[in-house]
């Protein structure tokens, strides 16, 4: 017996509900994660409870933006919160926005010359964000 069957979901469509597929569950999981994570990490750019985010900014990017590395990270935090909200409201677009944002983070980390492990992890997240965007595209056609 599967978990869905134990929970009372036999996979049979009821009179008003369609059967939930693995793709539906993957979509819900990815949408939730890519809504919550950017918002939490974005807010933490202001609180700095999880990390001192300023150390993650490559010097050449710090030279491009006005102000200090901390000022730049506050902007990053605001963008991340906005990206999380966009995923919640429009996941088809938000997934691509988060993927592009993660690509920028990867470039930053690689050019920093450190944190290659974090860059590799973020590449996995980028692929997940692209998967969310694709799944969301399929859902809008149903």
Residue 24 CA to residue 86 CA, distance in Å, equals 19
pLDDT at 136 over 80: yes
- To the nearest 5 percent, what fractions of the chain are helix, strand and coil? 75, 0, 25
For the chain, the average pLDDT equals 89
> What are the counts of helices (DSSP H) followed by strands (DSSP E) for the chain?
6, 0
Summarised one tens digit per residue, pLDDT across range 60-86 is: 999 999 999 999 999 999 999 999 999
pLDDT surpasses 80 at 16: no
pTM, two decimal places: 0.82
Q: How far is CA 133 from CA 32, 78, 126, in A?
A: 13, 22, 11
Residue 96's Cα: distance from chain center in Å? 10
On the question of pLDDT at 56 being above 90, the answer is yes
For residue 138, pLDDT beyond 90: no
Domain ranges of the chain: 22-140
């Amino acid at each position: 017996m599967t978990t869905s069957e134990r929970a009372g979901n036999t996979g049979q469509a009821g009179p008003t509900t369609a059967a939930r597929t693995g793709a539906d569950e993957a979509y819900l999981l990815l949408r939730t994660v890519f809504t919550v994570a950017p918002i939490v990490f974005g807010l933490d750019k202001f609180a700095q409870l999880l990390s001192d985010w300023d150390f993650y900014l490559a010097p050449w990017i710090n030279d491009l933006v006005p102000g200090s590395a901390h000022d730049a990270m506050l902007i990053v935090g605001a963008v991340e919160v906005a990206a999380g909200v966009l995923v919640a409201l429009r996941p088809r677009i938000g997934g691509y926005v988060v993927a592009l944002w993660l690509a920028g983070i990867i470039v930053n980390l690689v050019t920093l010359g450190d944190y290659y492990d974090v860059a590799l992890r973020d590449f996995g997240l980028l692929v997940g964000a692209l998967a969310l965007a694709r799944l969301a595209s399929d859902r809008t056609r149903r």
